[in-house]
Amino acid sequence: MSEYAATFELIDADKDGRISADELVRLMAVLDEPLTIDGARGAISKVDADGDGLIDLDEFSTWLRGR
Ligand SMILES: [Ca+2]
Ligand SMILES: [Ca+2]
């Protein structure tokens, strides 16, 4: 299992295996760095390798590794 899986599951509030723009907005609110829904979509599009508008665990891991 990926070392990022636990973090991923925390963010994935509805447990569908994908992080949506909504879930990213909620995360950033918790981290006290509020993000608009458009900002979240923009952030997702940068790491969304398969272009489905959602971040799966593979894309999430790649993103964190590349930071
Ligand atoms: Ca989700
Ligand atoms: Ca994707």
DSSP string, 26-57: HHHHHTT----HHHHHHHHHHH-TT-SSSB-H
Share of the chain above pLDDT 90, in %: 88
Tens digit of each residue's pLDDT (9 = 90 or more) over 22-50: 999 999 999 999 999 999 999 999 999 99
Expressed in angstroms and rounded, the spacing between residue 27 Cα and the centre of ligand 2 is 18
**What values do phi and psi take at 52, rounded to 5?**
-90, 0
What's the 46 CA to ligand 1 centre distance in angstroms? 18
Place of tokens 């799966």: 56
Residue with tokens 């994908």, as numbered in its chain: 18
Q: Which two tokens stand for residue 48?
A: 């969304």
Among the bound ligands, the one closest to the CA of 26: 1
How many distinct structural domains can be found in the chain? 1
Least confident window among 3-7, 11-15, 17-21: 3-7
CATH of the domain at 28: 1.10.238.10
**Which domain, by its residues, includes 9?**
5-65
What rounded mean pLDDT belongs to the chain? Answer: 93
Looking at the predicted structure, is the pLDDT value of residue 67 above 70? no
Does residue 1 carry a pLDDT above 80?
no
13 alpha carbon, closest ligand? 1
3 alpha carbon – ligand 1 mean position (Å): 19
* CA 16 / ligand 1 centre spacing (Å): 5
